[in-house]
Structure 1
Amino acid sequence: MSAPSVGERLQSVRKRRGLTQRELAQASGISVSLIRQLEQGVRDDTRLETARKLAVALRVRTSELIVRPDADGADPSTVEQWTRVRRALERRPSGQPSELPTVKGVDEVLSREAVPLYRKTRWADLALIFPTLLRDIDLLADEGPQTRSLRFRLLYMVGTVLTQTRQFQAAELALQRAQDSATGRLENAAVVNTMAWMLIRQGRLAETRDLATRWADDIEPKMSKATLDDLAAWGMLLIRISTSAVRDNRPGEAEDTMRYARTAAVAMGYEYAPHADYLRTFGPTTWHFKRAENLMVVDRPDRVIAMADREPKSGRQVTASNRNRHRLDVANAHVRLRQYPEAFDILRGIRRDNPEWLPHQRYAREVMGKIVDRRRTLTPEMRDLADFLGLPY
């Protein structure tokens, strides 16, 4: 017997609570039409924030409404673009190349080409160079600490980008291989942090919380002796606990863990990347952005706007993904306050700065969809951005 769908679970809980669809709409702030579409199976999924609002109104955990996805969420063009990367992950290279790669050569390509492309969210370019890098890292004969560290960095980056582009099965494989090459508990914790983020993107909130809590407890440092590496790893795991908890209608747990994460961020004083690994950056600005994200989940757009005006000055090293995710929260806050031009300007700015990052964000489509629905007429720029994001007609 297959698991019940989101709509079937929603209808069952709603009836148990004695609510009509219209009464649930009034209590949750979700439209009757969307509730009807979910229950009738016209739509088979919804955003976590929407599920959380319904869960709050129904007095259940968000995880009781959502269903673990069976497939990746990537669009077909993305899947095709990354075919060679997935094959390189799954298969060891065959045959003997005419020239064997060297640790120094692979390191230079990873550091001087792949990392800058990641910083600029140039996913298409990374899809072109990752297969060769993955082949070369598998051909390295030396298995010393330097090679293991290099293999970890590459596989960790590949897993992170695959998660970013919603190719979850391939991402899980890359992250498992990265964990096999990890040289210490903090590298392992970094992989777990990305795995937790991947689980959140799939709506697997209880699994996220259990995984991140177990690891955060294991690596919790003594503050008097904690290094920046310790604090960065611990802080990000606490962030994952908090962001999953707030989506699962556990506000107290979300607040507590966010407060502990702030302790780590304040102790660090600035954004820091362990071993100069940009993907593992954490500090006061990252915390600031994630705190605003939680506030948007609980529908406090006024506080999100206020936080946007108080960004810490240490934020130059924050990852582009975290900064852009925060910009989407601010755009959504403007939409909630009926400030549509301000919201559109933010989306337009993200497209200008990181055009390959934006189309993979369902959140961006939701924000743009609200702008389209609530304006009587659209400018040519708005129509163009709606097409770019793939909004349905």
Structure 2
Amino acid sequence: MPETSTIRENLKRLRVERGLSQEGLAEKSGLSKATIAKLEQGRRQGERTTTLMRLANALDVELGELVGKRERLGEDRDGASVLAVRDAILSPSLLPGLPGLDAEDHGDPTPLPDLTAAVTTAWEAYWAGEFGKVAAAVPGLITEARLTHRSLGPAAAAPLAQAYQLGACLMVHFGRDDLAAIGAERGIVAAAEGDDEWQWATVQGTYAWVLHHQARLAEAEDLAMRVAEQIEPSFSAPDEHLAAWGNLLMTALAPACAAGKDPKDYVSKAAAAAERIGHRVDVYQTGFGPATVAMQAVHAYAVLKKPGQALKAAKNVRVGNLRGISRARHLLDVARAHVDAGQPRAAETTLAEARAMSRVWFRHQGLARTLAAEVREIQTRPSPVIRAMCRDLGIE
């Protein structure tokens, strides 16, 4: 996660504001007093997300408030502003019954093929980890998509839903989880106006992912599974249907593992769908296939602290078949398994490989900061590579 000093200061401040002693917070969170004391003293570095989620829930705050997660675009900003994305998602033009507030959406609607192509291009930048480009594009995309939707109605529901969904995904990486939830909700509303249930289900999956990042694990898993049950396909269903369903299973798997549950059922069902498809299917701006399921199996073992099984499963992942930053995300799980297996040099090499795929994306990953801090702490003499990585991640 982020800098040790940030967690130390925020944890103590929030605990005192709520009138809790370290013993009281330990009781509410289910953690030991020693863990909390070490975090407040800055003697525990690279704390795991699951631990921080329990603390955030016990303190009744967003995870981002505890860890100080923030935008880290650096030189890749491209003149973009998170505030511009916020203003597009929370536009007053959406308020009912107040004429004149929709001035920003006046003008000629963008032709549907052009709008669809623009949304797809922005998603490609997202999967490439080019968050500066995405942040620059999202406000205009949402505005154009709203205007086209007002003109064409349900025919333009898909690009509007995907524009909101893209904004939601970006805001998760920037630590704006509440704003991400609103963006995902508006994407769901837009998708519901169309006639594609699989599109609607996919945006529901994004909402479940946001709930996971809000440390609402049970709700995230339940939502993803309820939607998956609603669209459950037959074995002879089209690839797109199987992919939408399989992705929901994989979305449910992540919070289940974070809660310590056995993911075997999710993996087996998704693996059957992936085997039926036989290759990666890119649908609704996501990807699903055998490599996706194998990657999530590695994630499950890594989260459950079974490094041997995680590293064994990683040998079955065809990284080249993963989409964009999913490859880098997979490498973080492999690095986590190496750390837990007591292999800091292998973890360092894997982290460096993930960072090389997209330095902007890497800077926004709490797990990357966690692992870099842990590797530095384990090494008797931290290597130049890990020292440079820690500086880039803002770790003291």
Question: TM-score per shorter chain, which class?
Answer: 0.7 to 0.9
For 1:127-206, list aligned pairs within 5 A. Answer: 127-140=135-148, 141-182=150-191, 183=194, 184-206=196-218
1:295 and 1:304 in contact (8 A); partners too:
yes
Distance in 2, matches of 1:3 and 1:227, equals 56
The 1:237/1:96 distance shift into structure 2, 3 A limit, reads closer
2:70 is matched with: 75
Q: In structure 2, what is the equivalent of residue 243 of structure 1? A: 254
Superposed CA RMSD: 3.3
Query: Higher mean Cα deviation, 71-80 or 116-125?
Result: 71-80
CA 1:166–1:39: 2 relative to 1, 3 Å: closer
- Cα shift at 1:87: 0.5
Match of 2:315 in 1: 309
* Corresponding residue number in structure 2 for 1:373: 377
Distance 2:313 2:168 in 1: 31
Deviations 1:133-183 (A, max 9, x none): 222222225224432222122222222222233321221121111112212
Three-state SS of the structure 2 residue aligned to 1:226 is: coil
Q: Find 1:105's aligned residue among 101, 114, 135.
A: 114
Q: Letter of the aligned partner of 1:271 in structure 2?
A: R
* Alignment partners' CA distance in 2, 1:176 and 1:83: 19
Contact between 2:72 and 2:174, CA under 8 Å: does it hold in 1? no
Q: Percent identity?
A: 24
Match of 1:283 in 2: 289
Question: Scaled by the length of structure 1, what TM-score is found?
Answer: 0.80
Q: 1:220 — aligned with what? A: 232
Q: Is the 8 A contact 2:105 2:143 kept in 1?
A: no
Match 2:338 to one of 329, 334, 338: 334
What amino acid does structure 1 have at the position aligned with 2:70?
D
1:122 and 1:368 map into 2 onto residues whose CA distance is 22
Which residue in the other structure is 1:349 paired with? 353
Deviation at 1:316, TM superposition (A): 3.7
**In 2: Cα distance, 1:281 partner to 1:97 partner:** 35
Match of residue 327 from structure 2:
323
Shift of 1:289: 0.7
1:189 CA displacement: 1.0
Higher alpha-carbon deviation: 237-246 or 296-305: 237-246
Larger RCO (CA within 8 A; separation ≥ 6) = 2
Is the deviation greater in 363-372 or in 260-269?
Answer: 260-269
Partner of 1:94: 103
**Structure-2 separation of matches of 1:41 and 1:351:** 26
Q: Deviations over 1:59-81 (max 9, x none)?
A: xxx79975653474541666993
CA distance in 2, matches of 1:221, 1:6: 50
Give distance in 2, aligned partners of 1:267 and 1:326.
23
Q: Could you list the runs of 5+ residues in structure 1 that have no partner in the other structure? A: 22-31, 53-61
Residue-by-residue CA offset, 1:338-371 (whole Å, 9 max, x unaligned): 2222211221122221111111111111111111
Q: Secondary structure at the match of 2:331?
A: helix
Matched letter for residue 194 of structure 1: T
Which residue, out of 127, 132, 142, partners 1:124?
132
- C-alpha distance in structure 1 between counterparts of 2:200 and 2:22, whole Å: 34
- SS of the residue aligned with 1:378? coil
- Give the distance between the partners of 2:257 and 2:19, measured in 1 at CA: 25
Letter in 1 for 2:363: P
**Following the alignment from structure 2 to structure 1, what is the Cα–Cα distance between the partners of residues 59 and 29?**
14
Q: SS of the residue aligned with 1:357? A: helix
